[in-house]
């Protein structure tokens, strides 16, 4: 599947001429999003996107500082690596989010003290993001450089605000087909039904 980035923080996979254009709004700290990825990630990409029937656009709805750090690292590196980075953070959510939920008061204090970059690096360290990214071929210097990208952090926050304000996205996962937000659609069964209606 080809991967393009029409604008910063937005990734599009699949055939630009596909009959159906699907947008997914996702949060890495959202348990429902992780469940959706586990259930739908492979069939959606294999049977709908890779077949050329559906173009998939992924947009971030950043809910908190943990979510922001994961989104920044999912966007780290070449555009073509995004999809597998995305899948890794989703499929391992219970592990890394569980670590962050068990942090000590001293660790949590680091998330609210110092520069924004230092805070993001502290979260990444405690969550185990460095070894996760190393498994994907990223060295520590590259991870640190991505975490230090204040412009990326600001852009993700601004886009989140615009999706809520202008697109009416109130929760995740949320989906739109051909630009129209789908009501009552937040599971693979309900989304598959919507896709099949249009194919």
Q: How many CB atoms lie within 10 A of CB 111?
A: 18
Q: What was the pLDDT predicted at 198?
A: 94
Q: Which residues pair with 55 in a beta bridge?
A: 21
Q: What was the pLDDT predicted at 16?
A: 92
Residue with tokens 């995740």, as numbered in its chain: 172
Q: What was the pLDDT predicted at 159?
A: 97
Q: Is the pLDDT of residue 1 over 90?
A: no
For residues 32-61, give the mean pLDDT.
Answer: 95
Q: Is the pLDDT of residue 120 over 90?
A: yes
SS (H, E, C) 128-194: CHHHHHHHCCCCHHHHHHHHCCHHHHHHHHHHHHHHHHHHCCCCCCEEEECCEECCCCCCHHHHHHH
Mean pLDDT of the chain: 96
pLDDT tens for 89-116 read 999 999 999 999 999 999 999 999 999 9
For residues 133-142, give the mean pLDDT.
Answer: 98
> What percentage of residues in the chain have a pLDDT greater than 90?
97
pLDDT tens for 161-175 read 999 999 999 999 999
Q: Is the pLDDT of residue 24 over 90?
A: yes
Q: What is residue 73's three-state secondary structure?
A: helix
**What is the distance between the alpha carbons of residues 85 and 169, in angstroms, rounded to a whole number?**
24
Q: Which residues pair with 21 in a beta bridge?
A: 55
Q: pTM to 2 decimals?
A: 0.95
What are φ and ψ of residue 170, in 5° steps?
-110, -15
> What percentage of residues in the chain have a pLDDT greater than 70?
99
Measured in whole angstroms, the distance separating CA 50 from the mean position of its chain's CA atoms is 19
Cα atoms found within 13 Å of the Cα of residue 26, Cβ hemisphere only: 27
Q: What was the pLDDT predicted at 2?
A: 82
Banded pLDDT at 158 (limits 50, 70, 90) = very high
Total residues belonging to the chain? 199
Q: How many CB atoms lie within 10 A of CB 199?
A: 11
């Amino acid at each position: 599947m080809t991967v393009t980035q029409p604008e910063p923080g937005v990734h599009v996979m699949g055939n630009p001429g596909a009959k159906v254009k699907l947008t997914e709004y996702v949060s890495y700290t959202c348990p429902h999003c992780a469940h959706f990825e586990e259930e739908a990630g492979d069939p959606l990409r294999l049977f709908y996107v890779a077949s050329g029937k559906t173009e998939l656009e992924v947009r971030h709805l950043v809910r908190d500082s943990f979510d922001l750090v994961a989104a920044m690292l999912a966007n780290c590196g070449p555009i073509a690596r995004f999809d597998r980075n995305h899948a890794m953070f989703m499929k391992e959510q219970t592990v890394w989010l569980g670590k962050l939920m068990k942090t000590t008061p001293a660790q949590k204090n680091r998330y609210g003290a110092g520069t924004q970059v230092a805070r993001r690096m502290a979260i990444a360290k405690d969550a185990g993001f460095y070894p996760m990214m190393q498994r994907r071929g990223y060295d520590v210097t590259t991870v640190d450089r991505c975490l230090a990208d204040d412009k990326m952090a600001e852009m993700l926050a601004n886009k989140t605000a615009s999706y809520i304000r202008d697109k009416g996205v109130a929760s995740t996962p949320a989906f739109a087909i051909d630009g129209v937000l789908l009501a009552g659609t937040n599971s693979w069964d309900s989304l598959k039904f919507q896709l099949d209606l249009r194919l």
